[in-house]
Amino acid sequence: MALLELDGVNTYYGRSHILFDVSLSVAKGEVVALLGRNGAGKSTTFRSVIGLTAPRSGEVRFKGEKVNGLRAFRICRRGIGFVPEDRRCFPDLTVRENLEVATRREKQAENPWTVDRVYALFPRLQERERNLGSQLSGGEQQMLTIARTLMTNPELLLLDEPSEGLAPLVVALLAEMILQIRKEGVTVLLAEQNLHFCAKVADRGYVIDKGSVKYEGTMKDLLADDEVKEKYLAV
């Protein structure tokens, strides 16, 4: 059974129709990429899943249960973690406080994430433990939001454009970390424009354009499909 399923999701901002019958599924243990250019509907898909912008029709199922219509904090508590594209560290909190805020006590995870465990994954954060969120570089902010979201013990992690605006070296480092997170048993759905980054970390990919899914397949097939690449991803 799929961990996450979107079934004919339509989402609007006010009067404007953004997602058109989006359907996709992510199985436990996978890393899946949602590829598309700016404004293709990737962030809206994520916001629809996490409940920040609820779909107007269609269904979002997590572990077989319908979650659309629930408020964001309830969906988070069910086990979906969301890392937004603009990162949004809490600027007035230290790195450590950013992590502590996200700690969930009510949920009994088998091997819960702790501050020490995420520091082991992101040693750089430990070095900057006492710095405020507003004092971090772009790469550090990205690590902090991922680490912060892990603290909620998600079974599924939604990563919105993690590589955006980062230097190539940092992007490579980030790819390593995503693979590491996967080894820890977390399923990852990744929104990206950067095809080669996805090629490194993802098993399967969906291509989304103008609010609807245009392609789905393994990353290998996608990489080989020049037509899809040209049409939906390149300029």
Partner 1 sequence: MGAPMDVLEIRGVVKSFGGVRALQDVTFSVRQGEIRAIIGPNGAGKSTLFNVMTGLFPPDSGEVIFDGERVSGVPPYRIIRKGVGRSFQITNIFPRMTVFENVQVALFAHHRSSRNPVGLARRYPAVASEALGILGQVGLAEKYEQSASILSHGDQKRLEIAISLASRPRLLMLDEPTAGMSRFESRETVELLRTISREQGLTLVFTEHDMDIVFGISEKIVVLQQGMVIADGTPAEIRANPQVRKAYLGEEISA
Partner 2 sequence: MMATIDVSFLTVQVLSALRQAAFLFLISSGLTLIFGVLNILNFAHGALYMLGAYFIYALTLHLTGPAGFVVALLAAPLGVALIAAVIETGLLRRIYVQEEIYQLLLTYALVLIIDDLAKIVFGPEYKSIPKPDAISGAVTIFGGTVPVYTLLVLVLAPAIALVLWYLLYRTRTGKIVRATSSDREMADALGINMSALFTLVFAFGAILAGFGGALAGPARTVFPGVGTEVIIESFVVVVIGGLGNLWGALIGSLLIGTLETVGIIVFPEFEMSLIYLLMVAILVVRPWGLFGRPLKIKALSEKNLGMEAQEISPVHFSVNPLVRVIPVLLLLAVPLVTGRFYQYLLTQIFIASLVAVAFNLLLGTTGLLSFGQAAFYGVGAYTVGLLATKAGVSTLPALLLAPVFAAAVAALIGFFCVRLSGVHFAMLTLAFGQLVFTIAFKWYGFTGGDNGIQGIPVRPLPGGVEIGSTQAMYYFALAVVGVSVEILRRIRSSPFGSTLKAIRENTQRAAYLGVNVKLYQWAAFVIAGAFTGLAGGLYALMEKSITPDIIHWTKSGEPVFMTIIGGIYTFAGPMVGAVVFTVLNSYLVAWTEKWALVLGIILLVMVLLLPGGVVGFVNEKARAAFGKRGWVRRWTFSKSAAS
224 touches partner 1 (CB under 8 A): no
Contacting partner 1 (CB under 8 A), which of 22, 26, 143, 171?
Answer: 171
User: Residue 232: what are its φ and ψ, rounded to 5°?
Assistant: -110, -20
Q: Which of 34, 175, 219, 222 binds partner 1 (CB under 8 A)?
A: 175
Cβ nearer to partner 1, comparing 114 with 134? 134
Let me know: does 42 contact 198? Beta carbons within 8 Å.
Answer: no
The answer to the question of residue 8 lying near partner 1 (CB under 8 A) is no
Say how far apart CA 184 and CA 142 lie, in whole Å. Answer: 19
When binding is defined by CB under 8 A, the residue of 195, 207, 213, 222 that contacts partner 1 is: 195
- 5 is a contact residue toward partner 1 (CB under 8 A): no
Tell me whether residue 188 or residue 228 sits nearer to partner 2 (CB atom): 188
Q: Return the axis-axis angle of helices 138-150 and 95-102, rounded to nearest 10°.
A: 30
What pairing do the DSSP bridges indicate for beta strands 204-209 and 31-35?
A: parallel
Nearer to partner 2, 10 or 37 (CB): 10
Look at residue 37 and give the partner it binds from partner 1, partner 2, none, a contact being a CB closer than 5 to 8 Å depending on partner kind: partner 1
Our separate counts of H helices and E strands in the chain read: 10, 10
97, interface contact from partner 1, partner 2, none, CB < 5-8 Å by kind: partner 2
Q: Which residues bind partner 2 (CB under 8 A)?
A: 50-54, 71-73, 76-77, 82, 84, 88, 90-93, 97-98, 100-104, 148-149, 152
Residue 64 binds to partner 1 (criterion: CB under 8 A) = no
Torsions phi, psi for 84 (to 5 deg) = -75, 160
* Nearest CA-CA partner of 31 in 194, 157, 168, 177: 157
∠ CA(228), CA(162), CA(49), 5° rounding? 80
**Distance separating alpha carbons of residues 168 and 82, to the nearest angstrom:** 23
**Applying CB under 8 A, which residues contact partner 1?**
13-18, 37-40, 85, 134, 138, 161, 163-165, 168, 171-172, 175, 192-197, 199-200, 210, 229, 233-235
